[in-house]
A and B are shown apart, each in its own frame.
Chain A
Amino acid sequence: MTIARIEKLDRLIEASVSAREAQTGSLLRQSLRRLKRSPMAVTGGVIVGLFVVVAVLGPFIAPYDPTAQTWGKEVFLNRNIFPGPRAENWFGLDHLGRDMFSRMIVGARQTLLVGIVATLIGFVAGAALGGVAAAAGTFGGRWGERVEAVIMRTVDVALAIPMLLLALSVAALLGPSLSTVMIAVGVAQIPIFARLLRGSMLAQAHSDYVLAAISLGVPKGRIVVSHILPNSLGPVIVQATLVLATAIIEAAALSYLGLGNPDPGSPEWGTMLADAQRFLSGAPQLAIYPAVGIIVTALGFTLLGEAMRESLDPRLRRQE
């Protein structure tokens, strides 16, 4: 799946270079216009927007304290009695008598936070690696090529390891905590970002405007930082949106495997799912809420990311 996505994005890299060379109006403005007309983008945007609003406002709009076991005496784990939805608790109670609706809302923030931070870690570290590799390979002479080879072969090796396995290894090293999940998921994304940015920069490096800058005697460092890099970020930003979806799912998976926040009180969708599995036969709703939350959110980010990729890809442009 990852490889297929990288191939698509590689195509986008080529396309964005040719589009820049064609210079038919502002690429950005065109893309935005196309985005607004895409049902995929609108659906994704609405979901992501709602999710972000809930995540940001969560603690203020939640009807109850998500960690308070207010209705603890009404739940009986030993007899499979879990009060379901009712007027005061819209989603019912969890296994410790906490309000499920409040936990879902407040849990959204943790989920978004993990997604964003993990993506940022992957983005920054991956972009740094990919950028250095591309710059060294293009302008660094023979030594630069060696640096590039070392970085990129390492990245390729990392890319060959299944992402969840890589994240699990990192999480096992660092011990269970929320930051572990962020780092683990982020680290697993580094190779993808590195490969993308390098590919994108290499494509730009052979374009006419770079050739022009070189012949004008612009310093190589400045060419890389001020010209190549800004023009190469498009595909990487698209990838970041898609990675957000993956990160949310993976963070949930790691929490589910018990590598997440060790404080079982604080709501997080993955941990809630892990807790719920023990009561699956008696109270399936406890698993359904966080599962649906994770699925819908990941779907939102994926739709938005795919729509952005398509809108930036001039070859996919419809007749206007």
Chain B
Amino acid sequence: MAVGLFTACGSDGDTGGDADTAEDFDFSCPERTDGDPQIDEAANESQPFVFGTPGDPTSLDPILASDGETFRVNRQVFDTLLDADCTDTVPGLAESFEQNEEGTEWTFHLREGVTFHDGAALDGAAVCANFDRWANFKGGFQSPNFTYYYSSVFGGFAENDPAMGVEAESIFEGCEADGLTATIKISHYTSSFPGAFTLESLSIISPDSIAAVADVEIPAADSPLPEYTQTVGTLAGTGPYKLQDWNHSEQEVTLVRNDEYWGEPAHVKTIIFKTISDETARRQALEAGDIHGYDLAAPADAQALIDAGYQVPIRGVFNLLYLAYTQGHAPLEDHAVREALSYAVDRQRIVDSVLPAGGMVATQFMPPSLEGYSEDVATYDYDTEKAKELLAEAGQEDLTLTFCYPTDVTRPYMPAPKDIFDIIASDLEAAGVTVEARPITWVEYIPTTRSGECPLYLLGWTGDFADPYNFLGTWFAAPSTEWGFDNQEVFDTIAAANTEPDAAARVDLWKTANETVMEELPGLPISSSPPSIAFAPNVYPPDVSPLTREDFSQVSFTTGS
């Protein structure tokens, strides 16, 4: 094991070294070692805490959002029925919940005395108003472009609009309110529950806000987001912060402390999320003191920042980067070709040289911290000769494939898309495949890859809650253009695992599902890695989350040296 060659003089107790296998990793969220914060009350009141984000949020209505940048803002303002601590599901707006034996009725006992920012009180009726609103969405609201998470959890809507491409039947059967309880009924069990009740998209908004936007329509799947999602003031939540301003031209969202918050009140009075898309510019802004923290630090910057006294807390690993083989582009239907491509890629090198410390090679389409992770999947270990043989046997010695990668972005699971692309492309060429590069800007990247245009492409996923369906189900629950394969066995094993109410039996079914997926080999899982987040020395950072779900009410400026 390589240990750093250059260590500072007089360093002691440095247990340098790299972890290489799943067993070496601690996926639980470790206890913080930085002690209690020496809170600087004066600074908290007088100074805004500015956090540099890699991208703009898209929507201030949480149900219409499906990206991490939007979640980051909304989760400070809105609350969910249940919350996540590390990857565990813990109480949120509901103090407790119970389910019936079949897992088809979920009863939530809400906290007392919670009020929305607009003064309305939280009760069972308010919760049900939210669920009823979502279930009865019409027109463009049903498009996965807007309500991706709702339809991925509940299948469809009360009346599916065929023009929006949502075909699955809704499993939501109704919501009953009784004082401070709300009971949500679904038609059959899915393993997404209760984790799905922690989704930022399913945040509870004020019943008055729901009434205010009841008449808003989204005409088509490609319509812009409604006006009310772009300005503050329409929707009220219950969170530790209230929305104060969203300055689109300055790319800043300003939040101000909610002094009537039901939980522990936030330390810092004003928080500003400022978009700085370039990672070097984010680092320079932190070094210049313009911002007090930022997300997605370049792996190479992490050590330099630590050496200079900045804080770079390590997140748990809960994401997955993969290389997709879109079937429908000949000859990717040929299993031997997919196998050959998989053998050709040196994933260990990507982990060792590009990803942040603490990353690991992925053997299946979910991180090892989840139950249902299988040790018995086919792993396709790096072997160029084997790749060549397989290609020769398949008669594909002159294979040319277009390979897409995003140009202007870093993702939590993918710090340097172009470098990763370069390494994989060179590995494939070594196995005799000609690679045609197709760089695509991030805005167009998701639609392009989802439509199946790219034979090979890089993409990934950060888990929303600790359930295998949030990974496997996201991709392989049904035929899709982004993968292009139609293997009923895969769909059936995932459905079987997802609807199995017995926990022990479910774990085994998920293992089978992972093995079946890796047998089909719709793509190559590359890595799981901890995305880096950095803070200034005079800041007490929030608990970092493997879900990238940081609670900024914990942030404080600190006194001392």
Query: In whole angstroms, what is the CA distance A77 to B407 when docked?
Result: 18
Is B299 positioned at the interface, with any CB of A under 8 Å from its CB?
A: yes
A-facing residues in B355-411 (Cβ within 8 Å): 355-357, 407
Contact A265 B425 (CB under 8 A): yes
Stretch at the interface among A36-44, A66-74, A240-248: A66-74
- Residues from chain A with a CB closer than 8 A to the CB of B418 are 264
Q: Considering the complex, give the chain A residue whose CB is closest to the CB of B346.
A: A72
Query: In whole angstroms, what is the CA distance A72 to B357 when docked?
Result: 18
Contact B422 A264 (CB under 8 A): yes
CB distance from B254 to the nearest CB of A (A): 31
Q: Considering the complex, give the chain A residue whose CB is closest to the CB of B532.
A: A78
Stretch at the interface among A23-31, A106-114, A275-283: A275-283
Query: In whole angstroms, what is the CA distance A80 to B301 when docked?
Result: 8
Is A62 positioned at the interface, with any CB of B under 8 Å from its CB?
A: no
Is A176 positioned at the interface, with any CB of B under 8 Å from its CB?
A: yes
Is A309 positioned at the interface, with any CB of B under 8 Å from its CB?
A: no
Contact B426 A78 (CB under 8 A): no
Q: Considering the complex, give the chain A residue whose CB is closest to the CB of B354.
A: A77
- Residues from chain A with a CB closer than 8 A to the CB of B303 are 79-80
Contact B425 A77 (CB under 8 A): no
B-facing residues in A274-299 (Cβ within 8 Å): 278-279, 281-282
Query: In whole angstroms, what is the CA distance A75 to B349 when docked?
Result: 10
Is B304 positioned at the interface, with any CB of A under 8 Å from its CB?
A: yes
Contact A78 B423 (CB under 8 A): no
B-facing residues in A54-97 (Cβ within 8 Å): 67-69, 72-73, 75-80, 95-96
CB distance from A210 to the nearest CB of B (A): 54
Contact B353 A69 (CB under 8 A): no
Contact A72 B426 (CB under 8 A): yes
Is B352 positioned at the interface, with any CB of A under 8 Å from its CB?
A: yes
CB distance from B77 to the nearest CB of A (A): 34
Assuming the contacts A77-B300, A264-B418, A282-B300, asked whether A69 and B439 have C-beta atoms less than 8 A apart, the reply is no
- Residues from chain A with a CB closer than 8 A to the CB of B353 are 72-73, 75-78
B-facing residues in A251-280 (Cβ within 8 Å): 258, 262-265, 278-279
CB distance from B195 to the nearest CB of A (A): 31
- Residues from chain A with a CB closer than 8 A to the CB of B426 are 67-69, 72, 96, 265
Contact A96 B422 (CB under 8 A): yes
Contact B422 A265 (CB under 8 A): yes
Most buried by B among A67, A73, A264, A281: A264
Q: Considering the complex, give the chain B residue whose CB is closest to the CB of A261.
A: B437
Interface residues on B, range: 20 to 34
CB distance from B482 to the nearest CB of A (A): 22
Contact A264 B299 (CB under 8 A): no
CB distance from B445 to the nearest CB of A (A): 14
Query: In whole angstroms, what is the CA distance A258 to B303 when docked?
Result: 28
- Residues from chain B with a CB closer than 8 A to the CB of A69 are 422-423, 426
Is B419 positioned at the interface, with any CB of A under 8 Å from its CB?
A: yes
The one of B4, B407, B423 that contacts A96, using a Cβ cutoff of 8 Å = B423
Query: In whole angstroms, what is the CA distance A68 to B298 when docked?
Result: 25
Query: In whole angstroms, what is the CA distance A31 to B419 when docked?
Result: 51
CB distance from B558 to the nearest CB of A (A): 28
B-facing residues in A196-227 (Cβ within 8 Å): none
CB distance from B240 to the nearest CB of A (A): 34
Most buried by B among A77, A264, A278, A281: A77
Query: In whole angstroms, what is the CA distance A316 to B4 when docked?
Result: 64
Query: In whole angstroms, what is the CA distance A110 to B459 when docked?
Result: 32
- Residues from chain A with a CB closer than 8 A to the CB of B439 are 176, 262
A-facing residues in B241-260 (Cβ within 8 Å): none
Is B421 positioned at the interface, with any CB of A under 8 Å from its CB?
A: yes
Contact A263 B300 (CB under 8 A): no
The one of B419, B436, B437 that contacts A77, using a Cβ cutoff of 8 Å = B419
Contact A78 B304 (CB under 8 A): no
Is B450 positioned at the interface, with any CB of A under 8 Å from its CB?
A: no
- Residues from chain A with a CB closer than 8 A to the CB of B346 are 72
Contact B299 A278 (CB under 8 A): no
Q: C-beta contact mask, B422-436 vs A, less than 8 Å → 1, else 0? A: 110110010000001
CB distance from B419 to the nearest CB of A (A): 6
Is B416 positioned at the interface, with any CB of A under 8 Å from its CB?
A: yes
- Residues from chain B with a CB closer than 8 A to the CB of A176 are 439
Query: In whole angstroms, what is the CA distance A104 to B495 when docked?
Result: 55
Assuming the contacts A72-B353, A262-B439, asked whether A78 and B300 have C-beta atoms less than 8 A apart, the reply is yes
Contact A264 B423 (CB under 8 A): no
Q: C-beta contact mask, A106-132 vs B, less than 8 Å → 1, else 0? A: 000000000000000000000000000
Contact A72 B349 (CB under 8 A): yes
Contact A78 B349 (CB under 8 A): no
Contact B300 A279 (CB under 8 A): yes
Contact A96 B300 (CB under 8 A): no
Q: Considering the complex, give the chain B residue whose CB is closest to the CB of A98.
A: B426
Query: In whole angstroms, what is the CA distance A68 to B426 when docked?
Result: 7
Contact B356 A78 (CB under 8 A): yes
Assuming the contacts A95-B419, A96-B422, asked whether A262 and B300 have C-beta atoms less than 8 A apart, the reply is no
Is B223 positioned at the interface, with any CB of A under 8 Å from its CB?
A: no
Query: In whole angstroms, what is the CA distance A96 to B426 when docked?
Result: 10
CB distance from B434 to the nearest CB of A (A): 11
- Residues from chain B with a CB closer than 8 A to the CB of A67 are 426, 429
List 25 contacting pairs A-B, 8 Å CB cutoff, sorted by A: A69-B422, A72-B346, A72-B423, A73-B349, A73-B353, A77-B300, A77-B354, A78-B357, A79-B300, A80-B300, A80-B303, A96-B419, A96-B426, A176-B439, A262-B437, A262-B439, A265-B422, A265-B426, A265-B437, A278-B280, A278-B298, A278-B416, A279-B300, A281-B304, A282-B300
Q: Residues of B at under 8 Å CB distance from A?
A: 4, 280, 298-300, 302-304, 346, 349, 352-357, 407, 415-416, 418-419, 421-423, 425-426, 429, 436-439
